[in-house]
Amino acid sequence: MKALLISLLLFAWVGTAFGAPPPKDNTRKYDIRGYGDHSLWVFVNEIKDTFRKDTGIRLELLPELALASKGCAKGILHAFNGRPGVDFGLICCGLKEEVIRDYRLTVHPVLREPLAIIVNKSNPVDNLTLYQVVGIFSGKIRNWKEVGGPDMKIILITRLHCKEHIPNWMRILGDPSFFAEGRLDVNSEPDMARTVSDFKGAIGHLEMTSVRESVRPLKVLSINGRKPTSGNMARGLYPFYTDLAVVTKGAASGKIPALIKFLRTSPSIRKNLERYGMVQVR
């Protein structure tokens, strides 16, 4: 009998340790819970106390581990596998119709974030035209002197992530084959910041959230004389951006619609938006 009891206890421990679903928790300390894309995770995490103060809704975010190009996938799976009215995903890429259909998703755009064109801090170039950006990323422009800078080879750094979706880099060039040969493709946002800061001739692209988080010194370029600010984004004057969205399995329900409305319309988060150059999407 004692041996049987020990076996049952061991079986229960192994099941919990290796992923068996835990018992239903009726005492959870949150009303809604999200996971996914790095940029939107950072923003929602930053404003969650304001959200609770304004609405009384308790929001939890699962630990953020989405730096290595898998944030949207994690957001999709969290929404698909989670509890309706409680669990939602965070994404930064546009989703193809087959993904929306297969995972039975509803996409709720909430914020628009600029995609910054970044260079080494020592680079004297402050502005590029849209035509020049396309020329550099396609390999037609290979030296900084061609765009008013020093006689220095351009080192192109790219992060062509989430190719199965519609990612932000497609606003620069619409297909991986259009980007210059000989470029250096990195795997994560910290890798992008580190590599651009390591090479004087480097140029790359990075979400403004990651620019603000970076401990590496970077210069954000103006495009056609316009910085990636909330004001320029609101007026459609900055060309590179991504739409950040909440995704739910089926229609949003429970208290998730309150979060969507808050992100889209609340004036309480204006300073947070301005910090990252974002605008609300209604």
Q: Where in the chain are the domains?
A: 30-113+241-280, 114-228
- What confidence score (pLDDT) does residue 20 get? 37
Tell me the DSSP string of 28-39: -S-SEEEEE-HH
User: Is the pLDDT confidence value at 18 over 50?
Assistant: no
- What confidence score (pLDDT) does residue 162 get? 77
CB–CB of 204/118 below 8 Å?
A: yes
Q: Using one digit for the tens of pLDDT, what is the confidence trace for 36-76? A: 998 999 999 999 999 999 999 999 999 865 444 568 889 99
- What confidence score (pLDDT) does residue 11 get? 33
| 12 C-beta neighbours (distance < 10 Å), count | 11
Residue 21 pLDDT level (bands cut at 50, 70, 90): very low
Closest CA to 102 of 144, 164, 185: 164
CB–CB of 107/54 below 8 Å?
A: no
Mean pLDDT of the 23-34 span: 76
For the CA atoms of 180, 184, 190, 195, what is the dihedral angle to 10 degrees?
-110
Residue 214 pLDDT level (bands cut at 50, 70, 90): confident
The structure tokens listed for 243 are 């739409």
- What span, in angstroms and rounded, lies between the C-alpha atoms of 101 and 104? 5
Angle between helix 256-265 and helix 38-55 axes, rounded to 10 deg: 100
Residue 23 pLDDT level (bands cut at 50, 70, 90): very low
- What confidence score (pLDDT) does residue 71 get? 82
Alpha-carbon 79 to chain mean position: 16
Closest CA to 263 of 30, 48, 7: 48
- What confidence score (pLDDT) does residue 215 get? 84
Q: Using one digit for the tens of pLDDT, what is the confidence trace for 174-206? A: 899 999 999 999 988 899 999 999 999 999 999
Mean pLDDT of the 263-270 span: 98
| 267 C-beta neighbours (distance < 10 Å), count | 7
30-113+241-280 matches 114-228 in fold: yes
pTM of the model: 0.86
CATH no. for 30-113+241-280: 3.40.190.10
CATH label, 114-228, candidates 3.40.605.10, 3.40.30.10, 3.40.190.10, 1.10.287.110: 3.40.190.10
Mean pLDDT of the 256-261 span: 98
Closest CA to 220 of 276, 146, 282, 139: 276
- What span, in angstroms and rounded, lies between the C-alpha atoms of 216 and 237? 27
Mean pLDDT of the 138-166 span: 93
Q: Helix or strand or coil: residue 159?
A: coil
- What span, in angstroms and rounded, lies between the C-alpha atoms of 69 and 74? 10
Arithmetic mean of pLDDT over the chain:
89
| Cβ neighbours of residue 206 closer than 8 Å, sequence gap 6 or more | 115, 116, 118, 159, 189, 192, 193, 196, 214, 218
Mean pLDDT of the 141-158 span: 98
Looking at the chain, the whole-number percentage of residues with pLDDT higher than 70 is 88
CB–CB of 203/117 below 8 Å?
A: yes
Is the dihedral angle over the CA atoms 66, 58, 114, 272 positive or is it negative? negative
Mean pLDDT of the 203-210 span: 96
User: Is the pLDDT confidence value at 267 over 90?
Assistant: yes
